Structure 1
Amino acid sequence: MISLKDVSLAYAGRTGPVLALEGTTINVGRGEFAAVVGPSGCGKSTLMKLVTGLVKPTTGLVAVDGAPVTGPVKMAGMAFQNANLLPWRTVTDNILLPLEIVEPYRGKFRSNRAEYVAKVEDLLATVGLKGFGDRFPWELSGGMQQRASLCRSLIHEPALLMLDEPFAALDAFTREELWCVLRDVWQRLKFTVVLVTHDLREAVFLADTVHVMSARPGRIIETRDVSFSRPRDLEVCYDKAFTDIVHDLRNQIAQVRKG
């Protein structure tokens, strides 16, 4: 589904170009759940922007679904650390927003609105927000807002879901609860996921594959397969094999931070 081959990206800085990524190569299979981890400032979010077509590489090739990325990737849904729900719209209307913007849904939004609202209600029930569609964002907790944000990223049935630290601002219990929500939605719909996170437990619990990035300029220095059987229960987080992987990843990132 995703292929980056020897990709480098330099931003314009005040004193000259700033190299964010250098010689980055990564492959993510269709239906795979991949996580990307690494030290702060290593280019994880830049990687997301390249895959979704929000920025272009300086050198190298970025391809999604077998085609070179030359602009915004319409098949991708995205969710971020901040839910970014519009405060003047209800939960349902916030979730419907992509369908008002993205073709082919935009052209038939009015005529198909009842069908789309039914899809919203189904997603809300899936993430534990049944009955909250007519609420406004300010009436929801942070965790509930993130659930709604996840629904918004999935409403147009994307083949690819890009997640940039979506649970980082939440407390530990809510974060783990939403891991399970995401796990269940992914296993039900089988889209491809790329999760950028600083939480190594989150990466190992959710992902099939964890990609470790170096310090800036970022590149992939290791790809670790996570072989725990699915569906995974939170209890796996206390297994020695699980904690061993987390400790190995933490040690590796600590090393690259030292340079």
Structure 2
Amino acid sequence: MTAFVDIDDVTLVYKGASGGVHALDRFSVSLQKGEFAAVVGPSGCGKSSLMKLVTGLVPPDFGKIQIAGDTVRGPVKMAGMAFQNPNLLPWRKVIDNVLLPLEIVQPHRSRFRREKERYREEAKALLATVGLDGFAERFPWELSGGMQQRVSLCRALIHSPALLMLDEPFAALDAFTREELWCVLRDLWQKIGFTVILVTHDLREATFLADRIHMMSARPGRLVLTKEVPFPRPRPIEVCYEAAFTDIVHELRAKIGEVRKG
């Protein structure tokens, strides 16, 4: 079966006066269409660099990346992205923050003005899906951190991307809100069926959400482990407190301890 995302033998070195930083080394991972993958590893292992490579923000020094059979040679239009900081524009209302990608990404950009009302209704429906019905006309500063992150997810999904890239999207939230948003993301993914690459330090988050967990070594980042997550879907949040779930988290934590020591 042909992979939807194919990261093939990729190496990345950031050049600099002091000799540069070797971020990734011969890294290979593939994802099938609709798969939910998580990438974990010690701090500084190149997880965020991997995000930049897959979305075409930086080119690899060696190897190649293909999405839907096409080699990535620049910014990937079919990808949506969400980060640890929601990065909402404070002067724009919630709905206008959600609509922002449609003003930028083709083919939506060329028809945004004439179809704005239809897009607004789609944005409102998406906001309702994540529990923000009635908040479309609020400003970001009127929302809690968790609500802002829900808006960020909606913005990442409004243009119906085939691939969603998530870089520590829940790391700044309290534990209860984080688990609540895991379930929001789980439900969105199961409803829409996009492919996900989640970069996270939270091993519980990775185990709850992902089909497969890919672990990276200390820098330069290499693939050291791929762990299949066996729990059937849909997964209730209560699975996080089962012994089998805890065993996987402990296994991953022990492996990260090994790779940190080199």
When normalised by structure 2's length, the TM-score is: 0.98
Q: In the TM superposition, what whole-angstrom CA distance separates every residue of 1:82-127 from its partner, at most 9, and x where no partner exists?
A: 0000000000000000000000000000110010001111111100
Q: Match for residue 77 of structure 1?
A: 80
Name the SS of the counterpart of 1:246 in structure 2: helix
Name the SS of the counterpart of 1:84 in structure 2: coil
Name the SS of the counterpart of 2:206 in structure 1: helix
Q: Match for residue 134 of structure 1?
A: 137
Q: State whether structure 2 residue 17 is matched by structure 1 residue 44.
A: no
Q: State whether structure 2 residue 167 is matched by structure 1 residue 164.
A: yes
Aligned partner of 1:184 among 179, 183, 187: 187
Q: What is the identity, as a one-letter code, of the residue corresponding to 2:137? A: D
What count of residue pairs does the alignment treat as equivalent? 259
Q: In the TM superposition, what whole-angstrom CA distance separates every residue of 1:48-77 from its partner, at most 9, and x where no partner exists?
A: 100000000000111111111000000000
Name the SS of the counterpart of 1:115 in structure 2: helix
Q: How does 1:1-259 map to 2 (within 5 A)?
A: 1-259=4-262
CA RMSD across the alignment? 0.5
Q: What is the identity, as a one-letter code, of the residue corresponding to 1:61? A: K
Q: In the TM superposition, what whole-angstrom CA distance separates every residue of 1:217-253 from its partner, at most 9, and x where no partner exists?
A: 0011111110101110111001111000000000000
The whole-number CA distance in structure 1 between the counterparts of 2:203 and 2:106 is 36
CA apart distance, 1:195: 0.1
CA apart distance, 1:12: 1.0
Q: What is the identity, as a one-letter code, of the residue corresponding to 1:67? A: D
Name the SS of the counterpart of 1:13 in structure 2: coil
The whole-number CA distance in structure 1 between the counterparts of 2:80 and 2:95 is 17
Q: In the TM superposition, what whole-angstrom CA distance separates every residue of 1:164-216 from its partner, at most 9, and x where no partner exists?
A: 00000000000000000000000000000000000000000000000000000
The whole-number CA distance in structure 2 between the counterparts of 1:161 and 1:140 is 24
- The structure 1 segments of at least 4 consecutive aligned residues displaced by more than 2 Å after TM superposition are none
Q: Which runs of 5+ in 2 are unaligned?
A: none
Q: What is the identity, as a one-letter code, of the residue corresponding to 1:46? A: S
Q: What is the identity, as a one-letter code, of the residue corresponding to 1:143? A: G
CA apart distance, 1:18: 1.5
The whole-number CA distance in structure 1 between the counterparts of 2:17 and 2:124 is 48
Q: What is the identity, as a one-letter code, of the residue corresponding to 1:211? A: H
The whole-number CA distance in structure 2 between the counterparts of 1:227 and 1:171 is 27
When normalised by structure 1's length, the TM-score is: 0.99
Aligned-pair identity (%): 68
The whole-number CA distance in structure 1 between the counterparts of 2:40 and 2:17 is 28
Stretch moving more, 7-16 or 27-36: 7-16
Name the SS of the counterpart of 2:24 in structure 1: strand
